[in-house]
């Protein structure tokens, strides 16, 4: 073998080794950031009202379902909420492609909470969306969130706070646009409540020694809109494994309100403003038609008040999607 060929092979081998080393270093860095953040954060953030988990708006490195007609999704999640409450979620989704540009999708959610000797659970929301691909890179989405309940669950005749409700109980308009290049993905979207819930929680109804006595009143709760921007970047670690870290700022466009014991509407200080979250997705391709997704989200910047009960110090989820 000539010196030139040997030199070329050695350079090629070194380049592949360096590429593998960079992938391993990136994976270790992400894991270190996750570990450090989760050990320090015990605050509000992370979970949103459902907008960033819509199929057409979230990072997706899984099955190329656009090459088929149908896509099924199923997933579970666990999160750490305020007041020593654990939240367990689930969803079942379906997407139908109606041509090269148009698709529709729907998702049914479930949520259960456990903590302070209270265990509750039930159906959450139905999400229904229409997606239109403007170009190879841009897709617009318009849809709605239909609540399966009015967030009016009670326990022993007393209304429970939003932290123990399986839905926000609001009927919402959803709309957004997504940019998807070979590696970068960005989504800008807004969620607007059109109809409020029927929660009637007052902390004063509970014993002062109860943890529920510390929770914000949400009687006659009026929730304001959210706007989010999700930016992420995909890294192919192997032929089957893709890592997609990202940043997810969510801005709550105004202070929420409740009605006090005298029937006077009151604003909730600190409920307006920014929550900045870090997101990490791992997608593992099982076969051409199916893939596993692992995702983690946690807050970096938080708001002072989250009366809607969506407070999470972290959320971890796993899902499976199948295209046919």
pLDDT per residue as tens digits for the range 92-150: 999 999 988 999 999 999 999 999 999 999 999 999 999 999 998 999 999 999 999 99
| Domain of 109, in residue numbers | 43-323
Give percent above pLDDT 70 in the chain. 83
> Is the Cβ–Cβ distance between 300 and 37 less than 8 Å?
yes
Same domain (yes/no): 1, 148: no
Same domain (yes/no): 160, 177: yes
Same domain (yes/no): 166, 49: yes
For 173, the token pair is 């308009």
| Cα–Cα dist 173/141, whole Å | 11
Of 36-45, 238-247, 248-257, 272-281, give the lowest mean pLDDT range.
36-45
| Cα–Cα dist 155/142, whole Å | 36
Same domain (yes/no): 313, 171: yes
Same domain (yes/no): 81, 33: no
- List pLDDT tens digits, range 50-84: 888 888 888 875 445 456 899 999 999 999 999 99
* pLDDT computed for residue 40 by the predictor: 38
Same domain (yes/no): 224, 259: yes
Same domain (yes/no): 204, 309: yes
Same domain (yes/no): 65, 104: yes
Q: Compute the average pLDDT of residues 296-312.
A: 91
The larger pLDDT score, comparing residue 9 to residue 229, is at 229
Q: Which residues are within 8 A (CB) of 64 and not within 5 positions of it... i.e. 6 or more apart?
A: 323
pTM: 0.85
* pLDDT computed for residue 273 by the predictor: 94
Asked if residue 191 has pLDDT above 90, the reply is yes
| Cα–Cα dist 82/285, whole Å | 35
Same domain (yes/no): 51, 15: no
Same domain (yes/no): 33, 155: no
Same domain (yes/no): 2, 144: no
Taking phi first (over 0 means left), then psi (-120 to 50 degrees means alpha), and beta for anything else, what does residue 111 get?
Answer: beta
The neighbour count for residue 108, using CB atoms within 10 Å, is 16
Same domain (yes/no): 26, 133: no
Query: What's the length of the chain?
Result: 324
| Cα–Cα dist 320/72, whole Å | 8
Asked if residue 245 has pLDDT above 90, the reply is yes
* pLDDT computed for residue 116 by the predictor: 96
CATH number at residue 287: 2.40.160.40
> Is the Cβ–Cβ distance between 91 and 74 less than 8 Å?
yes
| Count of domains forming the chain | 2
Q: Is 97 helix (H, G, I), strand (E, B) or coil?
A: strand
């Amino acid at each position: 073998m000539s010196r030139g060929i040997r030199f070329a092979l050695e350079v090629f081998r070194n380049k592949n080794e360096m590429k593998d080393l960079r992938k391993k270093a990136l994976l270790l860095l992400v894991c270190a950031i996750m570990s450090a953040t989760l050990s320090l954060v015990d605050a509000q953030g992370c979970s949103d009202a459902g907008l960033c988990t819509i199929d057409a708006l979230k990072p997706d490195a899984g099955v190329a379902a656009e090459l088929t007609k149908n896509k099924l999704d199923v997933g579970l999640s666990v999160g750490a909420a305020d007041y020593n409450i654990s939240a367990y979620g689930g969803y079942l989704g379906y997407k139908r492609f109606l041509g090269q540009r148009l698709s529709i999708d729907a998702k049914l959610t479930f949520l259960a909470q456990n903590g302070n000797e209270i265990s509750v659970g039930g159906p959450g929301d139905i999400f229904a969306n229409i997606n239109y691909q403007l170009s190879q890179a841009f897709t617009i989405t318009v849809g709605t969130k239909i609540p399966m309940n009015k967030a009016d669950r009670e326990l022993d005749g007393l209304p429970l706070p939003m932290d123990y409700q399986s839905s926000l109980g609001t009927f919402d308009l959803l709309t957004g646009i997504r940019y998807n290049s070979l590696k970068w993905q960005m989504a800008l979207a807004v969620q607007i409540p059109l109809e409020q819930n029927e929660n009637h929680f007052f902390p004063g109804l509970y014993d002062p020694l109860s943890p529920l006595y510390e929770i914000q009143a949400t009687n006659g709760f009026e929730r304001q809109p959210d706007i989010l921007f999700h930016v992420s970047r995909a890294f192919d670690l192997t032929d089957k494994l893709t890592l997609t870290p990202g940043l997810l700022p969510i801005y709550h466009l105004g202070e929420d309100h409740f009605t006090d014991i005298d029937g006077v509407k009151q604003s909730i200080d600190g409920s307006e403003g920014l929550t900045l979250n870090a997101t990490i997705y791992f997608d593992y391709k099982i076969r051409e038609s199916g893939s596993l997704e692992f995702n983690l989200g946690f807050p970096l910047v938080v708001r002072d008040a989250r009366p809607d009960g969506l407070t999470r110090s972290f959320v971890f989820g796993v899902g499976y999607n199948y295209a046919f």
